[in-house]
């Protein structure tokens, strides 16, 4: 059996964006090859997937951790390329992660306040870093793919929701109960996993058969300055502690498709932890571009070590 290659040390900068962690790999991880970010993501998955789990999974990370590998850019004028990953695989885009990456680049002295362009596997994303540290991302084009899609969920019955794209694929629904509160995360996790299984079992997909890998429960807000509160189930079974940048984008696209959110109108999305993203939609030709603003804070800088004798050096997760 081929023994996977490990660097001795991988240097990371940790942050959280409105409660959701991002671990940016800044040194030590061999660069994936490819002329596009999608090709680099595929090379990473084919040759370095053990580093993905080693960096974000236990015992060095945990299931809610989102990783971001910095690469050289592929677009003229971009500051960096970014490949996002989690405990089970790779994300096309990641809104909270992009905000974390921007604050990390600032922390490293690689950028200052102003506009920054980042390449991701689903396209270039621009962001604006304000002097107070807030970051506004201009996401990839987003849209509502299908409205009022019904799935039969064992134990729950008929669940209706919208299928929308915001850089990742979402099924957005409302549940009569439980309430979207932190003391209900276990139940919300079970129910949304059942909804995800029903979507897969009943062949409900995004455009061109794309897998829906996030389920978002939308509920009335708790904060007086918010429009709605959400619970977002991520692909690896963890829930998003932030309001989810791609989820906020998908919700805004779905609301717009219903005539419930005008271009330029603010949408304040609260998370289950009570944190907030402020978003709005812009038009670019025929495309709908979601903008999402939030704040990230640096929480640590670490040298992760991979001792050859460590039986858990490739990490582990119960998420499979
Ligand atoms: O902020 O887009 C996001 C996100 C996706 C998964 C976790 N966070």
Nearest ligand 1 atom to alpha carbon 93? 2
Q: Give the integer Cα–Cα distance in Å for 120 and 170.
A: 19
In the three-class reduction of DSSP (H, G, I as helix; E, B as strand; rest coil), residue 42 is classed as helix
Residues 6+ apart with CB under 8 A from 232: 170, 214, 215, 216, 217, 239, 240, 243, 244, 247, 271
- The angle subtended at Cα 136 by Cα 122 and Cα 229, nearest 5°, is 90
pTM, two decimal places: 0.97
Q: Is 150 exposed, middle or buried (0-12, 13-18, 19+ CB in 10 A)?
A: exposed
Separation of CA 99 and ligand 1 centre (Å): 10
pLDDT tens for 169-227 read: 999 999 999 999 999 999 999 999 999 999 999 999 999 999 999 999 999 999 999 99
Instruction: Please tell me the distance between residue 196's alpha carbon and the centre of ligand 1 in angstroms.
Output: 17
C-alpha 114/C-alpha 18 separation (Å) is 21
- Tell me whether residue 291 is one of the annotated catalytic residues: no
Tell me, in angstroms, the distance from the centre of ligand 1 to residue 15's CA: 14
Q: How far apart are the first and last CA of the chain?
A: 22
Q: What pLDDT was estimated at residue 4?
A: 75
Residue nearest to atom 5 of ligand 1 (CA): 94
Cα–ligand 1 centroid distance for 77 (angstroms): 25
pLDDT at residue 174, rounded to an integer: 98
Name the catalytic one among 57, 144, 234, 244.
244
**Cα of 1 from ligand 1 centre, angstroms:** 35
The per-residue pLDDT for 1 is: 52
Task: Decide if 229 contacts 221 (C-beta within 8 A).
Answer: yes
Residue of 64, 95, 103, 252 to test ligand 1 pocket, by largest number of atoms within 8 Å of CB: 95
Measuring CA to CA, which residue among 19, 9, 89 is closest to residue 299? 19
What are 177's two structure tokens?
A: 């109960």
Does 245 sit in the ligand 1 pocket, CB within 6 Å? yes
Q: What's the gap in Å between 107 CA and the centre of ligand 1?
A: 21
Counting ligand 1 atoms within 8 A of each CB, the residue from 66, 84, 253 with the most, and so the one to mutate, is: 66
Helix or strand run (H / E) with residue 159:
strand 157-165
Ligand 1 pocket: which of 64, 85, 96 to mutate (most atoms within 8 A of CB): 96
Which is the catalytic residue, given 57, 94, 144, 234? 94
Mean pLDDT by 10 residues, the chain (320 residues): 81 98 96 96 96 98 98 96 97 96 98 98 96 97 98 97 97 97 98 98 98 98 98 97 98 98 98 98 98 98 96 91
246 C-beta closer than 6 A to ligand 1: yes
Pocket of ligand 1 contains residue 95 by CB under 6 Å: yes
244 is catalytic: yes
Would the CB of 254 count as within 6 Å of ligand 1?
no
Q: Tell which atom from ligand 1 comes closest to the C-alpha of 235.
A: 6
């Amino acid at each position: 059996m081929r023994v996977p290659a490990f660097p001795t040390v991988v240097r990371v900068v940790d942050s959280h964006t409105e409660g959701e962690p991002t671990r940016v790999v800044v040194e030590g991880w061999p660069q994936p090859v490819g002329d596009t970010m999608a090709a680099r993501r595929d090379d990473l998955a084919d040759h370095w997937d053990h580093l993905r789990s080693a960096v974000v999974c236990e015992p060095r990370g945990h299931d809610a951790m989102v990783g971001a590998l910095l690469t050289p850019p592929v677009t003229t004028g971009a500051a960096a390329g970014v490949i996002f990953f989690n405990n089970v695989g790779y994300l096309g885009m990641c809104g909270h992660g992009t905000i974390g990456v921007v604050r990390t680049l600032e922390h490293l002295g690689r950028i200052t306040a102003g506009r920054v362009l980042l390449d991701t596997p689903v396209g270039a994303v621009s962001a604006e870093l304000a002097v107070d540290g807030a970051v506004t991302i201009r996401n990839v084009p987003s849209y509502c793919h299908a409205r009022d899609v019904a799935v039969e969920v064992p134990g729950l019955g008929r669940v209706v929701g919208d299928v929308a794209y915001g850089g990742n694929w979402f099924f957005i629904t409302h549940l009569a109960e439980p309430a979207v509160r932190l003391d209900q995360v276990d139940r919300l996790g079970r129910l949304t996993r059942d909804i995800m299984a029903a979507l897969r079992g009943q062949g409900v997909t995004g455009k061109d058969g794309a897998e829906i890998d996030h389920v978002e429960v939308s509920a009335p807000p708790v904060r007086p300055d918010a429009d709605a509160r959400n619970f977002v189930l991520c692909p690896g079974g963890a829930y998003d502690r932030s309001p989810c940048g791609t989820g906020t984008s998908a919700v805004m696209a779905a609301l717009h498709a219903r005539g419930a959110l005008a271009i330029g109108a603010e949408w304040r999305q609260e998370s289950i932890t009570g944190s907030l993203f402020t978003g709005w939609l812009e038009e670019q030709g025929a495309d709908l571009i979601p903008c999402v603003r939030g704040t990230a804070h640096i929480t640590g800088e670490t040298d992760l070590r991979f001792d050859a004798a460590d039986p858990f050096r490739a990490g582990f997760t119960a998420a499979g």
